[in-house]
Amino acid sequence: MIVGCVGIGVGAGARIAIGEAFVLCRGPICVSPAWVRPHQVEDEVRRFEAAVGIASQQLQAIRDEIPPDTPGEISEFIDSHLLMIEDRALSSGVASLIRQRLASAEWALQQHCDALVEVFEQMQDAYLRTRRDDLIHVVQRILKVLTARHDSEPDDLQGQIVLAEDLSPADVILLHNRQVAGFVTEHGGPMSHTAILARSLGIPAVIGAHGAGACLKHGELLVLDTDNGCVLPNCDPALISHFQDRREYDFQRTALLRQESHRPATTRDGLHVRLLANIELAGDVAEAVRNGADGIGLYRTEFLFMNRNDLPDEEEHFAAYREVIEGMPERAIVIRTLDLGADKPLAGTRDGESGSNPALGLRAIRLCLKEPELFKPQLRAILRASALGDVSIMLPMLTNLWEVEQTHKLIRHCMHELDIEGTPYNRNIPVGGMIEVPAAALATPLFARALDFLSIGTNDLIQYTLAIDRVDNEVNYLYDPLHPAILQLIARVIEAGRQAGIPVSMCGEMAGDPRFIPLLIGMGLHELSMQPAALLDARQLIRELDAGELVERTRDFFEHIDTADPLSLLSHWQ
């Protein structure tokens, strides 16, 4: 009998991995209290400092292995850890504990780390609180040197599936360079740095697989399926053969679909559906272009703000936007202003505190309007970028019309400054908004009159409407895109956009899910923005559909939604 584990699948291109399990880490190093004699103190300090030097060299070596064509944002993950490990405040604190308390280097480091973690957890700035994970990763690296534990950095991992409790950014890059087939972690979420790096580097992964360490063994053959977020051990030859066929089929199918990527996503009866890409890094543009994206429907700009202790200036913003525009010339690019808070907090603001419930606190447009000195450089940079291409501004997490009015006021102020400077920009740059809060969905007619376009962010819309945290394993089974309340809100937004005569798109995960695409088209959505890897399947599916037939089926779907399983109603549409 197969006893596997389930987590969150992360795949971009490759979705099946088969290989031997390699248990990379059996858990954090636990240090017991230990002391040295007075005459051993200085030797212990030198032993600690030598370990810091070795750990720093290890990180630098990993950074040096990053290919030069890798997006700069990826190396910045390592840079942030290098800065932390070389921070004298870390070393001097440990050395003081060794000298004052005669503690061993390991025990002094652990005590100092515990004290710093406590300080991080008490910080009001939400982003700085999350730096505790970086600190723990750095301290664990030093401890591994001090304890001579080498099991985390094997030289040969080619073709293996790595199992770990958690992985740092450096670990993920190292695994990529070691040509792993995939990896499994017990911790982490879909928006964690680990998941994002896996997608960016094209590593199949299952993250947040609680209990994986208990049911998977070192050396056994594993099958990793990112479509279903599962890891299967001890598969019989027939099942292994099945997954090998799936992997080969995926490879060949992707190659064939990519040959068709230049063809428009037009239904059999002539309805063109614009397929746009969601990107996070400038490096994602290449895959979006390769998979035939009509443009960028959602450029998340949060990475400009993460893994650093200061704020990006206007020139950094502008350089990033220019790189995306140059990578996708003559196509529309929607730049979302920063959406930080909750699981994506922010450094460097005067008041980054999101309160006891950060998902409902100071985040996204709320934070931007409270911190105009944070918002203005981004708006100025987007305006400057608008002189280089077809650029739009999209505002996240709108709740009140007042937020739109205040943003327009700030944009006009930036335009006035650019006029005085003689800096070119598109005076008619479109400004749109994300509808991802139930209040905004219900009040969409008001927003539609004040904005140039709307985009439905289904991830948050579902979360807020159904009052469930989608990364909470205890309740994420309630996350249901086909809940009648969600479908009614989506229909309301589409209708409001139609009446106002402005485009409405969808940029949440629902937009790229082949199970829902026919229904969304039947409801009247003609612009879908998704992960670049999903574009190929979406295009093929749309080209096989009949839009007129979908409208009829959608009408029938809503008539029977209260008497049947909605997903089963959709199962025969394709």
Strands (E), 301-383: 332-336
The answer to whether residue 5 is catalytic is no
In terms of C-beta density within 10 A (0-12 exposed, 13-18 middle, 19 or more buried), how is residue 111 classed? middle
Closest CA to 266 of 288, 299, 290, 292: 292
Q: Is 9 helix (H, G, I), strand (E, B) or coil?
A: strand
274-279 and 230-233 strand pairing: unpaired
CA angle 141, 143, 149 (to 5 degrees): 85
Residue 91: left if φ>0, alpha if ψ -120 to 50, beta else—which one?
A: alpha
- Please check whether residue 368 is in contact with residue 406, taking contact to mean a CB–CB distance below 8 angstroms: no
Q: Which of 5, 25, 230, 507 is catalytic?
A: 507
Q: Which residues of 43-66 are buried (b: 16+ CB within 10 A; e: fewer)?
A: ebbebbeebbeebbebbeebbeeb
Closest CA to 105 of 90, 115, 95, 93: 95
* Rounded Cα distance, 311 and 325, in Å: 22
Q: Which of 112, 193, 317, 368 is catalytic?
A: 193
Q: Is 338 helix (H, G, I), strand (E, B) or coil?
A: coil
In terms of C-beta density within 10 A (0-12 exposed, 13-18 middle, 19 or more buried), how is residue 468 classed? middle
Q: What are phi and psi of 225, to 5 degrees?
A: -120, 105
The answer to whether residue 30 is catalytic is no
* Rounded Cα distance, 101 and 115, in Å: 15
Q: What are phi and psi of 18, to 5 degrees?
A: -130, 125
Q: Which residues are catalytic?
A: 193, 507
